[in-house]
Structure 1
Amino acid sequence: MENNQSVDEVNVSDGGYGVKESSRDQREALPGEPKCVICGRYGEYICDVTDDDICSLECKQTLLCRVANKGMRVTPVPPQRLPATDECYYVRESDNSSGYQDYSSDQNELVRRKLDINVKGDAVPAPILSFSSCNLPQRLLQNIEAAGYGMPTPVQMQAIPAALIGKSLLVSADTGSGKTASFLVPLISHCANFRLKHLSKLKKPLAMVLTPTRELCIQVEEQAKLLGKGLPFKTALVVGGDAMAGQIYRIQQGVELIVGTPGRLIDLLVKHDIELDDIMMFVLDEVDCMLQRGFRDQVMQIFRGLLQPQILMFSATISQEVEKMVSSLAKDIVFVSVGKANRPNKAVKQVPIWVDSKKKKQKLFEILMSKQHFMPPAVVYVSSRLGADLLSNAITVTTGIKSLSIHGEKPMKERREIMQSFLVGEVPVIVATGVLGRGVDLLGVRQVIIFDMPNSTKEYVHQIGRASRMGEDGTAIVFVNEENKNLFPELVEILKSSGSAVPRELINSRYTVGSFGKGYKKRKHGS
């Protein structure tokens, strides 16, 4: 293969002369480029033993281990991959007719405690310990394996079987914990089985997923197409920025799933005769955001047009107010939470820095130009669209590091191109507003810099969560000053609960001490 060098040609003991040690160091593959047979990243090298394309020494070692165990070449997989979690729990399949593991309630609770899974509701099924244990269509299982999903993550273990038996769910789990697959797997299974049983020329939509941003819609639809490949399962993307005529035509041709933002979907429903009476599954991704004022009325308008669908609701941050609201949407809701609610992913190291407003730019430039502290690709979060444009330009001019901005005012086509350039490694830094703060899977990103603190600690949790996907370690550098005083009490609690160092100025601020009083002193020194 052109431009590929054999790993055997490189002196590994001498540092590899630039050969990537880990797949994490390798960029994503561009269209037409070879892909690593292990992880799907750029297959820069050729394994000297098997002649397979690989991206790094790490993947070469994995490849050789698999060949030794199986005596065969490895089938390539796409870059969408999830690591196995707690493999000691990958136990035997059940041989009962339901397909679920036949364990005692004590064993189920032991598994839940071990994985920090909490459930509330009636007749909650046992957590699954493998995807093959819950009677999914065979082609869906093949797609799950081809996509690199080894073993279900804790949230998938509990959410998937509950959704498959028709339970409405409210699910809270860390950013990057696998929530998207938690609703797509049962959704695709239901839709495919329905189509196979009810053959009809007129195919009305069977399921709908609503998310707050176009980027998240695109990501969810792409993942749905990947998992639904080869099944009677077609999707339609309904977002602003793309021509409505094409979206309408797509739906009229017959689709099983609509993925969209509430505003564009209502616009489409009002102006065109799209029937939703066959919708049996309704998903609200980032539900806490979807039920805030900006979206709530639109979401409820869409929901009232449906005929009592199963509702699946997911987010990393769910308040008591949201819990009360969703209880009015459906009866017999099962509540599932994994880990501590409304807390950052433990894999993210938070590094708060006290920086005066006028000195934030200089501090950012220092970090970006430091070999020790800058870990590209990185996302810098700001509070305004204009600020994103100005800061990205300043980064490029001052540091020489290529940077682009992304926000809601940019055309959809441009936003897609920017994201593509960022994810394949052409652009090391992207400056973003909250449009990239929720749900978007920024593959390869292990560093986030919060230049402007968001308006709430909920958004803070989502933004720093972009630095860790599927539990891989990441770092969030956070700029804090007196302008963020309204967040001080909650922010200190979050930092302390995660074991992060808290700046002296933040601890001693009258806005912090005044809020905690004696209670804060007692927690600080212990008792």
Structure 2
Amino acid sequence: MESNENNLTDSSAAESSVKERSCEQREALPGEPRCVICGRYGEYICDKTDDDICSMECKNILLSRHADTTMPALRPPRRVNIPMSDECFYVRDDNITISQGLNRAQIESLRSKIDICVKGQFVPDPVLSFTSCDLPQKLEQNLETAGYIIPTPVQMQSIPAALLNKNLLVSADTGSGKTASFLVPIVSHCTRIRSKCLAEEKKPLAMVLAPTRELCVQVEEQAKVLGKGLPFKTALVVGGEALAGQIYRIQNGVELIVGTPGRLIDLLSKYDVELSEVSLLVLDEVDCMLQKEFQDQVMQIFRALSHPQVLMFSATISQEVEKMANTIAKDLIYIYSGKPSRSSKSVKQIAIWVESKQKKKKLFEILMSKQHYKPPVVVFVGSRVGADLLSEAINVATGLRALSIHGEKTMKDRRDILRMFLMGEIPVIVSTGVLGRGIDLLKVCQVIIFDMPNSMDEYVHQVGRASRMGQEGTAIVFVNEGDKKLFRELVQNLKSAGAVVPRELANSKYLASTYTVNNRNKRKYGL
């Protein structure tokens, strides 16, 4: 403690422990000094620079920046040795934050690839792995157990920003991973505070407000999954359940309250609920929460809190929402995930009749064609062994770098492969159905269905990989007599998508009705 007092000088430092991390420091009140790094209460003064800082963490960052300015501008980046278990890391050098070993141009390129736009001051770089976020180890384990392989685009940008105590306004579509975007910082925030504060009376530390009971239930269930095994308890405050039971749970100590505004106002008016330690507030579906129906209730709850960090999420962000959000939280960082027009985009489907023995040859022709090869590409196959063998064959026959991904590979291997694919290091992935569902990450330009799946439901999901991230992609489908059980549904799907039906498929005896081939378009789409 003596060494800290030599480096940090302020009247309050002698009275209490010096804050180690910026997240332990409160927000600055009007007229109070602000930390030059993060903007929180500048409780201390750095003796080497005379700047206001909030914690040892920000002091070290400040001194690192100060040291950089005294060194030659063209010195090479310093190398950092990291454990093999870490896929990503942060270092600061030459006044530029290098995320995962990327320079500034690569970071902007990454944001462009994953369709992330940001606006605001001191926006942290996106991350490519949860392990680069300095999360509690148990939280990382819970994420892996829950099936989170690598962050989705909105999580890549939102989580590191939220962990730095930034106020956020985030636009992200349903299904893009926005719930985990705020729950991961919440669980991390609450866990770190609780691990340092062992008081018997545990007051709520965070709050999530959502417009519907169903959404609140979903959020709380996910929070329980991510907080399992940690000092992290939740309370659900919604209609349909007795208020007495909800207040009993809160009074017995919880870290997070998830609720609808009306029910929470009802609870606050009837019971003495202490919210003084709530330092993180989330408004889910903020466009709805700031409409007349909820606005007064939301503002009443907000005024009952003491300058919390605010995270706001919505599917769309209008100018009106932006203006209202600015009245709630200052110095907002805006994060836009995806493109507004992506819902109108569709996949161009191209069905090719290819006999089983000729499928490899046809695949190699496509991958070596300047006209038809559109990387990055995902090739779907029917088996794990087939994925391994076909990826090796692609490497040999075409010279393209291809890797396989399937359920027998470890979680770390899958993370590494997906990261390399995202960064453009691998143009082709050969996959089983493991990539057909759930991972809204890959900016795939082309899908090639080498082996037809067992159902049209799986087929639709695999084709849909080519329409991720706001772009129109192409799906090439190999079909032959071995897929006859799906002929009827496949033809219906192709026709509804405006795709050409191969003559062999249209004339198949396995179809109940006759389909004709659009010969005029055959040359345009045939490969």
- TM-score, length-scaled by structure 2: 0.48
TM normalised by structure 1 equals 0.48
